[in-house]
Structure 1
Amino acid sequence: MSAYVTPIVSAILVFAAIAILVTVPWAVYQYRKYGYYSFWKSFMLATFIFYSLSAFFLVILPLPESRINCVERLPLAHYMQTTPFQFIADIQREATINWSSLATYKQLAKTPAFYQLIFNVLLLFPLGVYIRYMWKQKRNVWRAFVIGFFISLFFEVTQLTGLYGFYTCPYRLFDVDDLLANTTGAVLGFALAPLFLMFIPSKSSLQIRDAAMSEKREATRGAELLALFFDIIASQVIAGMLATFGNQQWFEQQLLFFVTLFVMIVVIPLVNHGRTLGALVVKIRYETIQRTLGISLLKRYIAIALPYILGIISSMTDAAVPNETGWTLIFLISLNLLSVFVTVIIIIHLVWRLLRRTKPFYFDHYSGTVALRQERMKKK
C-alpha cells in the first residue's frame, strides 16, 4: 500500500507548493484577460496539475537509495519486456485460471499481475477525461489514443533511462504491455468522460461566459479586492523599507504605513486617471458617482484605514497600561473585543460581497467610488 500512498502524499505536498506560488499570478492573469475569476477554469487546471503530479510520482517513486543502483551495466534489452500481452501468461502463471470458466475468475483478486494491469489502465484514464473536456466530439478519440500513447512512452523511457541518466541503471522495467494498458486507459477515459463531466460546465459555455463578462463595464468584486490587496501589501513593503533607514519606533512605523497607504490609494489614482498600482495590475480604474474623485478617494481611504486604526489604538493602550485593574481592565478588554469584532465583521462582509457579486463593498458604498474595467474605458 505504501507504494501508492507515498507518491500520492508527495504529489499533495508538491501541489500545495505550486498552489502557493501560482494562485495569485493565476488570478491576476484571469482578471487581466477575462475580467473575472473563473472557478471552473481554476478547478480544472488545479485537478489536472494534481493528477499529472500523482501519475508521474506513481511511475518514478520510490527512488533508489543511491545513484549507483547496480553492480554492473547490462544491455538495455535486459530491462525491457517487448512481448505484447505477456500479462496474460503472467496472470496464468500466478493463478490457476480456466479462461472458459467464469468460476475461476475470482482468483484474479489475488493475482499481482492482474492488479498491475488494472493500475496501468487506470493510470491514464483521467487523462482521457481531460482530453474529452478539451475536444468534446467523439471523432477526436484519436487524440486520446495518440496523447495517451506518447505520455505512456514518456513514462517508460523515463524508467528505462534511469531518470535520463541520473541513475546508473534502470530501476524499473520497460514493458510494452504498460504502453498498451496506459493507452487503453486514456481511450476508455475519453469514451466514458461524459459520466464524469455532466456536472461541470462545458468549455464552450465557459467561453460564452468569457465573452459576456468582457462586455461588462464594471469590474468584479474579486478584481477590486485583489487590487486593494496589492495596494496594501505594496504600502507595507515600502513603509517597512523606509522605516529601516530611520530606525523609527513602532508607532512611527505605523504612521509611516498610513501615510504610504494614503499616497497609494488617494494621491496616485488622482494623478493617474483613477488607477492605483494594484488597479494597474488587474487592469481596472476607479471613478466616482459623486462630484469629486478626490473626495471619494479620501472617504474610501478613511473607510479602509479605520479598522487598522482601531487595532493600533487597542495595541497602544495595552502597552501604555501594563498593570491594568478594575474599570481599566474592563475598558481594555472591551476595546480588544471591539477590535476583534470589527475585524470579523469586515471579513464576513468581504466574503459575502464576493459571493453576492451585485452589491458594493462597504468602502465603495460609503465613498461613492466605482471600479471599472480598464480595457472597456479604452474603447470609449
Structure 2
Amino acid sequence: MSTYLFSIETAAITFPIIAFLLAIPYMIYQYHKYGSIPWLRTLIIYSFFLYLLVIYYLAILPLPDPEEVAKLTTPRYQLLPFYFIIDIVKNADTSLHGTALVINIIRNPEFYTTFLNILMFIPFGVYMRYYFKLSLKRTILYSFLLSLFIELTQLSGLYFIYPRPYRLFDVDDLMINTLGGLSGYLIAPLFTFFLPSRETIDKTSMKKSENVKFFRRLAALIIDYIVIQLLLTIISFFINLTTIDTYGLFYFLYFFLSTTFTKGSTIGKRIVNIKVVGISEHTGIWQYALRYFLLYVVTFQAFTIGVDTLSYLLTNTIEILPRIALYGFVILCFLINIIFFVELLISVFRKNYRFLYEKLSNTKNISTFHDETTNTI
C-alpha cells in the first residue's frame, strides 16, 4: 500500500509542472475548437491527465538501483491466462468455510492486488464514456491498449534504461485492467449523474465564445510571438537585427500587414478564432496602422525610450527649458506604461475590454468562432 501512496504523492507533486507545460497547447486547442474554456471542462481534462500520471507512476515507481536490477533472476513475464486465480487459491486457507474463507481470500495479497488493478482502471472507463463519448467496444479497446502500454513499459525495463525488467509483464494484468475499464464504463452514470453532459459543456463553451477575454487574446499573442521569432531568426541570417527599435518596427509590420491583407486576422488570431475590426461599418487601413503603431512603436517602446532619456538628463548638462520638457517627456513615457499595465489587470476580469490604443484607433477584437463553425458544417 505504501508503494501506491508514494506513486500518488509523486504524481501530485510533479503534476503542476506537467500542467504548466500543457496549459498553452490546451488553451489554444480549446479556443480553436470551442471558443472558450469553461472551468468544468478544464477540471475534467486536467484531472484526467493527473489520473494517467498516477497510473504511469504506479507502473514504474519506485525506481530501483540499476545494479540491483542487473542481479535479478526473477521471471520477466507471465503468459498463462488466469494464473492470478491459481495464486489466490494457493495462498488461501482451504480449511476454512463460509464467511471465514471469504475473509481469508480478501486478506490475501494476491486478491487485493487484483482488486486494486481493477479499481485503478475504473476511472478510465468513466472518462471514456462521460467526457470522450466512446462506445463500449472502443472503451474496451482503449483500456486494453493503455494496459498494454504499461506492461510493455515494464517489460522493456523502462524503455531499456534498465538492463532487464524490474516489474513482471503479466498477461493477467491486461485482462484485469481491461475489465476495470469495462466496469468503469458500465457504472459511469452513477458517478456522472449530477454532472452536466458533454453536450451541455460544449453548448456552454460555444455560448461564451462570443466574449473575447484576456486569456484568449494572450493565446493568440503567444502564437504570433512564436511566428515572429521564427521569422526574425530566418531574417537574422541575412540582416543584422540588433536594436530594440528594429524589433518594434518588425512587430508593427507583422501585425499591420497581417491584419490588412486578411481583414483583421493574424496567424494567432485565426487559430483562436478572433479578429480585429473597426467600430464603424468598414475598417480602414489607417485604423490597423494606428492600432499597431500605438501598441508596438509607442507603448512597447515607451519604457526604453523613457529610461534612455532619463539617463541622458542625469549625465548631461542642458538648459532649463529643454530639461523641463525632457523630464515631462520621461513622465509621459512612464505614464503610458503604467496605464497599459493597469489596463492589463482590468482586462483579466472584464470581458471584451478595449485598451486605450484600441479606443484611439477605433478598433476592437471580435469572435469569429461561429463564422468558423458555420463554414465547416
TM-score (norm 1): 0.68
CA deviation map 1:78-121 (0-9, x unaligned):
9998141633654659xx9875259x969978x75565345323
SS of equivalent to 2:275: strand
Q: 1:263 aligns to what?
A: 253
Instruction: Determine the C-alpha separation between the residues in 2 that align with 1:105 and 1:145.
Output: 31
Report what 2:319 is aligned to.
none
Which residue in the other structure is 1:87 paired with? Answer: 88
In the alignment, the residues of structure 1 paired with residue 76 and residue 221 of structure 2 have an alpha-carbon distance, to the nearest angstrom, of 61
Sequence identity (%): 27
Deviation above 6 Å: which 4+ runs of structure 1? 78-81, 106-109, 239-244, 333-337
* Structure 1: tracts of 5 or more residues without a match: none
1:122 pairs, out of 107, 119, 126, with 119
Out of 163, 181, 186, the residue aligned to residue 186 of structure 1 is 181
2:48 & 2:286 partners in 1: Cα distance?
47
Q: How does 1:124-273 map to 2 (within 5 A)?
A: 124-134=121-131, 147-149=142-144, 151-152=146-147, 154-156=149-151, 158-160=153-155, 162=157, 167=162, 169-175=164-170, 178=173, 181-198=176-193, 200-209=195-204, 222-231=215-224, 234=227, 246=240, 248=242, 253-273=243-263
C-alpha distance in structure 1 between counterparts of 2:310 and 2:93, whole Å:
78
Cα distance, 1:13 vs structure 2: 7.3
- String of CA shifts for 1:226-254, please: whole Å, max 9, x gaps: 33444456556766887895474xxxx22
Q: Hey, what's the Cα distance between the residues in 1 that align with 2:313 and 2:92?
A: 79
Summarize deviations over 1:324-373 as a string: whole Å, max 9, x none.
Answer: xxxx9x99x999986775454223122113xxx35545544443324352
Aligned residues: 360
SS of the equivalent of 2:277 reads strand
**Retained in 2: the 8 A contact 1:128–1:187?**
yes
**1:294 is the counterpart of 2:289:** no
Shift, 1:47, TM fit? 2.6
Counterpart of 1:120 in structure 2: which amino acid?
A: N
One-letter identity of the residue aligned with 2:188 = A
Alignment-derived partner of residue 53 in structure 2: 53
RMSD: 5.0
The amino acid that maps onto 1:100 is T
Show the counterpart of 2:265: 275
| Residues 366/86 of structure 1: CA separation in 2 closer, same or farther (3 Å cut) | farther
Taking structure 2 as the reference length, the TM-score comes to 0.69
Q: Does 1:315 align with 2:307?
A: yes
Q: Counterparts of 1:142 and 1:365 in 2: how far apart (Å)?
A: 55
1:197–1:347: structure 2 CA closer, same or farther, 3 Å change rule?
farther
Cα distance in 2 for partners of 1:181, 1:347 equals 52
CA gap of 1:276–1:81, structure 2 versus 1, over 3 A, is closer
Ranges in structure 2 where 5+ consecutive residues have no aligned partner: 316-323
| Larger RCO (CA within 8 A; separation ≥ 6) | 2
Shift of 1:130: 0.7
